């Protein structure tokens, strides 16, 4: 980005030479450019003859059009509507060039001729007329607009409006409250006729029946739903209904609650078929009561275990990076992925990635979760995750553990219910962590993104284990920045309930109406995407219920190769460990084989019980419908390219990338599904019956795969849309300013490295 | 396994897989086999050493300890044959085996002091691993240790013995030596044509003894002049055609450095020759000369009589240096990589340790160079000349990689074999020197992983374009394993002339005989044969990855991800089964409706059409 302190001359050198080219002047717009507005959306300010930069370099290339600021988004309407690339994701509520105001990370105005720049906040003044506006977005886009042909005053006004409206003073000012109110009334009639959104299959866990079902599903017979927090009477951050050990009465719980941070009674998350439970818990605040309360809670959890095994407690604050660490890792990673000049960052790419520590943290969370899984599965004891507030790290670890333990959560609906249960209802402070109101930067932390990255890592290792795709994960993360859904707007269910109650009152929504109806969660994907685009969420490889591979009602598992090694051997007898004693260091590397072999002489350590558990697990074939443990060597941690590099044009592989595999697999699965539907049709045709032509007539309508069966007319080159950024497009979405003059020469000449005289001399050999 | 039996059984993959393939190299570590799905679980009877035709046991020893760096010490039996080392231990609940072709061994040394009761031996292998064994001191002091015997057979060339490839007598249904025929490959490219001709000037390797006998040169340069050009090019390696664009006629030509020297010598013939190469392509009035070396190295070569083309002497030519380092830098880089990945990966600093080896950076430079060549030819319609110093290491990497990007034929299994035969083997990449087959001199400065690097680059391309290659990862790993194994004659010798002299095709088996006889194992099920697909990879460290499936395959903790290819094959089988059932039902319904056609004119089968079943 820009240097922290900008003095006039140094800033100058970051700027391109003033472009005085006249041939790029725009023709007068012939047609009127209108913003596409949602219901309740109003235009605040607009400016014409704006150029949107669409390439990285500082050239004159760009799209001309109108820049508009509304109470919901920054919109750019290009004059020439180039036909949108087919087969890239299109959003139903946002245009190709739109950015929701909540998605803005930083609004920067620049005056090239004066060599000035300013980061704009709310209600600020701007003493110069901007020649350029740079929008840094939370979804990692960087968008640049140039005003060389625009009216200076209107340009300034639009910039100020964007800055102002992206810093709402109050949560209720977020556009979702306006939009959903209107939408509720406008779509009333449709709803009467159509199905209720409770047909939305994702359990929200705002009612006791959702918890009850979860207890039954996991056979957690020694646990019960407790509703003492109804109307948030006990804790302001717990949901109204929680699950607790059956042996504890409501009165006990009332009494214990006061010992915990924010009166958070420890809550049940999940039970293993062996009876061990996963419980999350805040820290105890009352030092006097601490021991006693803790003992009682632990005793109750022990009592709920079929073998009365003692629970295992893990203090996450002590074992994992803090939310501040995670935020700083993300900031560094963002810097190198999208802001640093591409070629400059190539040379030290790997070590810079390492220095950001992001992957290290991803690994730490996965590793800790896997260890907790061991205690539950291998150690057969209940696990208690403890964290000061129980609202951050616990969300990540409990959700990851359940993802590893329970295949249900690897289905799309299951995953959404998991997020709902362990994040939304458990009171993860989305409002603060996302910093939607831009009030407190210190509270901001991309914990949920970290979780999604962890999920991606498991998915990357077990590509057939999840019903959904990495596109789904990416789109889900983007949805955090669209303020139209209730999921990511609030910090607790109490806050959600209060705001939505006020909202319902203001918008004349009848009492008793379900909040899912009037302020839907993000899980109602049809609000954002067409049915066709939603098929991008479906993983053609998925091995699970309802997937193409379930044969004769039986779920097939992948066989991992039998390992020839086993885990019984412990250590190396010391008498066999001879060979290297002191003295070798003086020998040169080349002549000393012992030195080269040194590392192998270190004895194999004794395995801890958990190491043995993992080793045994990895030596067996993985059952994708059973426990799933990711491999966790540093070399197993991959960089999530789709998420972090999708906007980077230089990093885009055209007509290639993992999507080509997805393309092929989808086509094949589509063919299989067509055949299956044909079979069903025939089976419905008992002799003498006419097959139902109508059901077979429109297979295209409900096809589950985005890419459909191949045909002989397929072109002789791969489809253009297949790039490593698919279904996103880097064009125009990353226009960082680079140091003047592209370092192309450097790219071409490669890195200047390790030229010793010896190698030079040797070159002629 | 006797010779005749296996020929009959080649039809069935189960038994042909018992052939000495890669999996026998790695029986102790199953990750390699991940790609080789058919060989999932071995029957217990296969746990015995299966001798190849003409393989003979040389020595056996009981009570030998193998120090597995991953699972600890194992006690078992070692067998040494004229082809391999076989270790088997029953210490654990499951049998542990190690099956190592001796060609893989780069170095054997006795470790430890003489006073110890145990004798310990270390084996450094060419395929990124080290092995260590120990056994009791011999009571009979006259008896040699089994590892002394091993040393003899691991380095047959140094011990006056024959490389096992000359003894191996397996017969395969296909003869891999017939895969490549220079004339038919040029014919495939449309050569000869009005601008290019095939010359016989090197028929007896008189023009250049490291070049193939068949060369394609510009039509208007007579053989006599070729000889004068040869005098100006290092080792007589004149610019010759590697590939021609089917539409634009832009060409990729290769050669060695010009002998410019400190005084800036010029050669009229050479200048005219390059002009002729440019003129052969009507689309462009420019010629690009890609010098693979860093410019400093190229300049340093002038001291030894070499150098590079000056743009003054070669009009319309533009010279570009690609900054790829020499064989010594690459050898050092791989050595460092081995330190980082074998046997264990440290828990911290993985990425910076990897970076410090510079291995991926070298890969990037090579791919970037090849991409520039491909881009010039495809997008710029301009002909290019590629050289380094001698034109048999970096040049081979660059021409073959750019041809792989430009021409989908080379991305098929047979096409790739042709590419290797042509650009690497026939043009004299010095495999014998670079690998050191059967030679105990492990410090030889001529050894270098140039070819491994090339295969790594190919693997990087397959990662970026998963559907563009007919072959799979197992194919590439197999090639690298037999680069060292000395089982096949393919990678023996340094040049076509030497191979002819040694009668390699007559006396040994080609690796392609083995591979082409069980193609299914090596086939990528996702392959789509797009005819006009030129690959432009993203040459960035953001996309380059360490080839874990090769460099870290010995580590049992480095299990690869669940194979997508296997899933795809399962789905293909499922589709076939469904299609069969639909076809049957369709016939049934058709028969029925035919018999009752008069009653119901609107036949229901019309709405049902079979799905396209081609892939």
According to the annotation, is B394 in a ligand binding site? yes
Q: Are residues B575 and A675, on separate chains, in Cβ contact within 8 Å?
A: yes
* Distance in Å, alpha carbon of B570 to nearest chain A alpha carbon: 8
| Residue A698 sits at the chain B interface (C-beta within 8 Å) | no
Chain B's closest residue to A694, CA to CA, is B607
A668 and A526 in a single domain? The answer is no
In a domain, A235, yes or no: no
Chain A positions touching B306 (Cβ under 8 A) are 764
Lowest mean pLDDT among A71-75, A122-126, A735-739: A735-739
A532 and A661 in a single domain? The answer is no
A146 near A53, Cβ under 8 Å? Answer: yes
Kind and range of the H or E run holding B368: helix B359-378
Q: Are residues B600 and A578, on separate chains, in Cβ contact within 8 Å?
A: no
How far apart, in whole angstroms, are the C-alpha atoms of residue B393 and residue B362? 14
Give chain A's domain count.
Answer: 3
Q: What count of residues does chain A have?
A: 765
Show the domain range for A396: 313-536
Q: Which residues, at least 6 apart from A258, have a Cβ–Cβ distance to it below 8 Å?
A: A286, A289
pLDDT above 90: residue B40: no
Q: Are residues A464 and B562, on separate chains, in Cβ contact within 8 Å?
A: yes
A665 and A531 in a single domain? The answer is no
Chain A positions touching B468 (Cβ under 8 A) are 656, 660
DSSP assignment string, B436-447? -TT---TT-TT-
- B46 pLDDT band, cuts 50/70/90, is low
A384 or B311: which carries more pLDDT confidence?
Answer: A384
pTM of the entire predicted model: 0.89
* Distance in Å, alpha carbon of A424 to nearest chain B alpha carbon: 32
B427 near B454, Cβ under 8 Å? Answer: no
| Residue among A465, A651, A660 whose CB faces B465 most closely | A660
pLDDT at B20: 42
In a domain, A102, yes or no: yes
Over the stretch A200-228, which tens digit does the pLDDT of each residue have? 689 999 999 999 999 999 999 999 999 99
Chain A's closest residue to B93, CA to CA, is A566
- A32 pLDDT band, cuts 50/70/90, is confident
* Domain end among A146, A167, A188: A167
Over the stretch A287-305, which tens digit does the pLDDT of each residue have? 887 889 999 999 999 999 9
pLDDT at B558: 76
The complex's ipTM works out to 0.89
A656 and A531 in a single domain? The answer is no
B244 three-class SS: strand
The one catalytic residue in B68, B125, B388, B457 is B388
In a domain, A87, yes or no: yes
* Domain end among A481, A506, A536: A536
pLDDT at A637: 95
- A82 pLDDT band, cuts 50/70/90, is low
| Residue among B69, B322, B530 whose CB faces A718 most closely | B530
pLDDT at A196: 53
**CATH number for the domain including A162?**
2.30.29.30
pLDDT above 80: residue B210: yes
How far apart, in whole angstroms, are the C-alpha atoms of residue A39 and residue A176? 11
Kind and range of the H or E run holding A744: helix A744-749
Q: What number is the average pLDDT over the span A477-491?
A: 96
Least Cα distance to B243 among B129, B383, B132 occurs for B383
pLDDT at A106: 94
Per 3-state DSSP, chain B is made up of helix, strand and coil in percentages (nearest 5) of: 40, 15, 45
A511 and A655 in a single domain? The answer is no
| Residue A566 sits at the chain B interface (C-beta within 8 Å) | yes
pLDDT above 60: residue A520: yes
Q: Are residues A350 and B351, on separate chains, in Cβ contact within 8 Å?
A: yes
Residue numbers of A between 364 and 423 with CB closer than 8 Å to B: none
How far apart, in whole angstroms, are the C-alpha atoms of residue A438 and residue B594? 74
In a domain, A745, yes or no: yes
Averaged pLDDT score across all residues of chain A: 83
Q: What number is the average pLDDT over the span B288-302?
A: 97
How far apart, in whole angstroms, are the C-alpha atoms of residue B372 and residue A196? 58
In a domain, A364, yes or no: yes
B388 is catalytic: yes
In a domain, A103, yes or no: yes
Residue B447: how many other CB atoms lie within 10 Å: 19
Lowest mean pLDDT among A333-342, A587-596, B347-356: A587-596
- In our burial notation (b when 16+ CB lie closer than 10 A, e otherwise), range B151-183 reads bbbbbbbeeeeebbbbbbebebebebbebbebe
Residue A287: how many other CB atoms lie within 10 Å: 8
In a domain, A32, yes or no: no
DSSP code of residue A1: -
Residue the block writes with tokens 């006073």: B115
- A537 pLDDT band, cuts 50/70/90, is very high
B297 or A748: which carries more pLDDT confidence?
Answer: B297
Distances (CA, A) of A502 to A182, A517, B318, B442: 15, 15, 73, 80
How far apart, in whole angstroms, are the C-alpha atoms of residue B35 and residue A533? 33
How far apart, in whole angstroms, are the C-alpha atoms of residue B301 and residue B292? 13
A522 and A667 in a single domain? The answer is no
According to the annotation, is B303 in a ligand binding site? yes
In a domain, A456, yes or no: yes
A669 and A532 in a single domain? The answer is no
Structural domains for chain B? 22-166 (2.30.29.30)
According to the annotation, is B5 in a ligand binding site? no
Q: Are residues B368 and A685, on separate chains, in Cβ contact within 8 Å?
A: no
* Domain end among A501, A536, A571: A536
| Residue A594 sits at the chain B interface (C-beta within 8 Å) | yes
pLDDT at B42: 38
pLDDT at A593: 58
Q: Phi, psi at residue A322, to the nearest 5°?
A: -85, 170
Q: What is the CA radius of gyration of chain A?
A: 29
A319 and A465 in a single domain? The answer is yes
């Amino acid at each position: 980005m820009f240097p922290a302190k900008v003095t006039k001359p140094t800033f100058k050198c970051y700027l391109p030479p003033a472009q005085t080219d006249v041939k790029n002047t725009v023709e007068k717009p012939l047609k009127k450019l209108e913003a596409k507005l949602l219901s309740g959306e109003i235009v605040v300010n607009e400016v014409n003859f704006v150029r949107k930069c669409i390439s990285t370099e500082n050239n004159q290339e760009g799209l001309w059009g109108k820049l508009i600021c509304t109470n919901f988004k920054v919109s750019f309407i290009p004059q020439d509507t180039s036909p949108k690339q087919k087969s890239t994701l299109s959003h139903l509520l946002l245009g190709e060039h739109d950015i929701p105001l909540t998605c803005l990370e930083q609004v920067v105005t620049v005056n090239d001729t004066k060599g000035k720049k300013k980061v704009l906040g709310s209600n600020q003044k701007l003493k110069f007329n901007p020649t350029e506006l740079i929008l840094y977005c939370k979804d990692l886009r960087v968008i640049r607009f140039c005003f060389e042909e625009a009216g200076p005053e209107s340009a300034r006004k639009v910039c100020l409006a964007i800055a102002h409206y992206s810093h709402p003073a109050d949560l209720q000012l977020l556009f979702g409250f306006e939009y959903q109110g209107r939408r509720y009334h406008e779509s009333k009639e449709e709803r009467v006729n159509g199905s209720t959104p409770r047909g939305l299959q994702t359990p929200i866990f705002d009612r006791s029946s959702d918890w009850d079902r979860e207890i039954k599903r996991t056979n957690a017979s020694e646990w019960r739903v407790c509703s003492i927090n109804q109307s948030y009477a006990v804790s302001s951050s717990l949901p109204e209904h929680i699950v607790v050990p059956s042996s504890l009465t409501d009165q006990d719980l009332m009494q214990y609650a006061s010992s915990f941070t924010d009166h958070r009674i420890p809550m049940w998350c999940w039970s293993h078929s062996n009876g061990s439970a996963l419980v999350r818990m805040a820290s105890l605040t009352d030092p006097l009561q601490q021991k006693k309360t803790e003992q009682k809670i632990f005793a109750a959890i022990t009592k709920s275990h079929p073998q009365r095994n003692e629970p295992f407690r893990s203090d996450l604050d002590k074992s994992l990076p803090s939310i501040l660490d995670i935020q700083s890792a993300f900031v560094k990673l963002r810097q190198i992925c999208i802001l640093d000049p591409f070629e400059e960052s190539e040379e030290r790419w790997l070590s810079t990635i390492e220095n950001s520590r992001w992957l290290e943290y991803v690994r730490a969370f996965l590793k800790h979760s896997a260890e907790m899984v061991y205690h539950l599965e291998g150690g057969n004891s209940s696990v208690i995750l403890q964290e000061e507030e129980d609202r951050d790290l616990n969300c990540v670890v409990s959700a990851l553990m359940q993802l590893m333990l329970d295949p249900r959560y690897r289905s799309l609906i299951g995953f959404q219910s998991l997020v709902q249960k362990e994040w939304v209802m458990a009171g993860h402070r989305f409002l603060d962590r996302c910093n939607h109101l831009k009030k407190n930067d210190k509270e901001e932390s991309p914990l949920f993104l970290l979780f999604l990255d962890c999920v991606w890592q498991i998915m990357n290792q077990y590509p057939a284990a999840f019903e959904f795709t990495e596109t789904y994960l990416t789109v889900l993360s983007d949805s955090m920045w669209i303020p139209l859904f209730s999921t990511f707007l609030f910090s607790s269910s109490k806050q959600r309930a209060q705001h939505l109650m006020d909202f319902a009152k203001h918008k004349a929504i009848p009492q008793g109406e379900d909040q899912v109806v009037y302020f839907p969660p993000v899980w109602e994907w049809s609000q954002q995407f067409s049915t066709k685009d939603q098929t991008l969420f479906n993983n053609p490889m998925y091995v699970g219920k309802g997937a193409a591979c379930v044969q004769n009602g039986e779920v097939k598992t992948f066989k991992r190769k039998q390992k020839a090694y086993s885990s019984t051997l412990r250590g190396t007898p010391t008498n066999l460990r001879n060979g290297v004693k002191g003295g070798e260091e003086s020998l040169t590397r080349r002549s000393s084989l012992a030195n080269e072999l040194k590392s192998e002489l270190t004895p194999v350590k004794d395995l801890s019980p958990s190491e043995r558990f993992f080793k045994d697990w990895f030596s067996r074939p993985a059952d994708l419908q059973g426990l799933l443990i990711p491999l966790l060597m540093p070399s197993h941690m991959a960089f999530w390219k789709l998420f972090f590099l999708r906007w980077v044009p230089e990093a885009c592989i055209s007509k290639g990338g993992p999507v080509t595999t997805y393309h092929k697999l989808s086509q094949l699965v589509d063919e299989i599904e067509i055949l299956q539907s044909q079979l069903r049709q025939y089976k419905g045709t008992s002799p003498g019956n006419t097959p139902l032509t109508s059901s077979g007539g429109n297979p295209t309508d409900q096809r589950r795969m985005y890419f459909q069966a191949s045909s002989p007319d397929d072109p002789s080159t791969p489809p253009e849309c297949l790039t490593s950024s698919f279904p996103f497009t880097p064009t125009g979405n990353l226009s960082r300013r680079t140091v003047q003059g592209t370092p192309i020469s450097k790219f071409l000449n490669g890195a200047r490295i390790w030229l010793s005289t010896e190698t030079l001399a040797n070159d002629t050999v | 396994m006797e010779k005749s039996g296996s020929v009959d059984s080649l039809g069935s993959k189960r038994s042909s897989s018992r052939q000495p393939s890669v999996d026998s190299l790695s029986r102790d570590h199953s990750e390699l086999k991940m790609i080789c799905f058919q060989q999932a679980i071995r029957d217990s009877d296969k746990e015995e050493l299966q001798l190849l035709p003409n393989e003979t046991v040389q020595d056996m020893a009981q009570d030998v300890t193998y120090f597995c760096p991953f699972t600890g010490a194992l006690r078992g039996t070692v067998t040494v044959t004229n082809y391999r080392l076989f270790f088997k231990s029953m210490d654990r609940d499951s049998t542990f085996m190690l099956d190592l072709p001796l060609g893989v061994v780069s170095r054997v040394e006795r470790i430890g002091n003489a006073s110890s009761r145990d004798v310990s031996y270390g084996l450094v292998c060419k395929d990124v691993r080290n092995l260590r064994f120990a056994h009791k001191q011999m009571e009979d002091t006259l008896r040699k240790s089994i590892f002394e015997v091993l040393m003899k057979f691991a380095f047959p060339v140094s011990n006056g013995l024959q490389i096992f490839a000359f003894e191996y007598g397996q017969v395969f249904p296909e003869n891999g030596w017939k895969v490549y025929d220079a004339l038919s490959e040029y014919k495939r490219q449309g050569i000869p044509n009005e601008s290019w001709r095939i010359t016989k000037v090197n028929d007896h390797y008189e023009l250049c003894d490291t070049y193939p006998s068949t060369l394609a040169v510009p039509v208007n340069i007579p053989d006599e002049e070729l000889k004068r050009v040869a005098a100006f090019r290092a080792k007589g390696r004149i610019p010759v055609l590697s590939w021609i664009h089917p539409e634009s006629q832009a060409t990729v030509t290769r050669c060695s450095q010009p002998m410019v020297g400190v005084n800036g010598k010029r050669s009229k013939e050479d200048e005219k020759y390059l002009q002729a190469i440019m003129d052969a392509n009507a689309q462009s009035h420019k010629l690009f000369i890609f010098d693979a070396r860093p410019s400093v190295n190229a300049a340093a070569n002038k001291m030894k009589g070499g150098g590079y083309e000056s743009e003054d002497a070669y009009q319309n030519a533009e010279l570009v240096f690609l900054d790829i380092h020499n064989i010594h830098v690459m050898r050092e880089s791989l050595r460092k990589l081995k330190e980082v990945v074998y046997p264990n990966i440290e828990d911290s600093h993985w990425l910076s340790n990897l970076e410090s080896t510079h291995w991926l950076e070298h890969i990037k430079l090579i791919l970037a160079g090849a991409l520039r060549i491909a881009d010039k030819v495809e997008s710029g319609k301009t002909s290019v000349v590629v050289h380094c110093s001698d034109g048999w290491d970096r040049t081979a990497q660059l021409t073959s990689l750019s041809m792989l990007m430009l021409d989908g034929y080379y991305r098929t299994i047979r096409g790739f074999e042709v590419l290797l035969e042509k650009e690497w083997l026939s043009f004299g990449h010095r495999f014998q020197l670079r690998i050191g087959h059967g030679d105990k001199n492990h410090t030889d400065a001529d050894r270098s992983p140039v070819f491994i690097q090339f295969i790594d680059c190919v693997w990087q391309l397959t990662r970026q374009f998963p559907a563009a290659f007919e072959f799979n990862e197992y194919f590439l790993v197999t090639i690298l394993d037999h680069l060292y194994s000395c089982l096949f004659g393919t990678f023996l010798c340094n040049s076509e002339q030497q191979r002819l002299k040694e009668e390699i095709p007559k006396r040994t088996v080609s690796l392609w005989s083995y591979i082409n006889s069980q193609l299914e194992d090596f086939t990528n099920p996702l392959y789509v044969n797009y005819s006009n697909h030129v690959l432009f990879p993203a040459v960035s460290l953001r996309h380059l990855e360490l080839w874990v499936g090769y460099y870290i395959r010995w580590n049992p903790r480095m299990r690869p991800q669940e194979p997508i290819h296997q899933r795809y094959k399962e789905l293909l089988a499922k589709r076939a089964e469904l299609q069969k059932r639909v076809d049957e039902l369709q016939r049934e319904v058709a028969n029925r409706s035919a018999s009752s056609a008069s009653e119901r004119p609107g036949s229901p089968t019309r709405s049902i059409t079979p799905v396209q079943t081609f892939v």
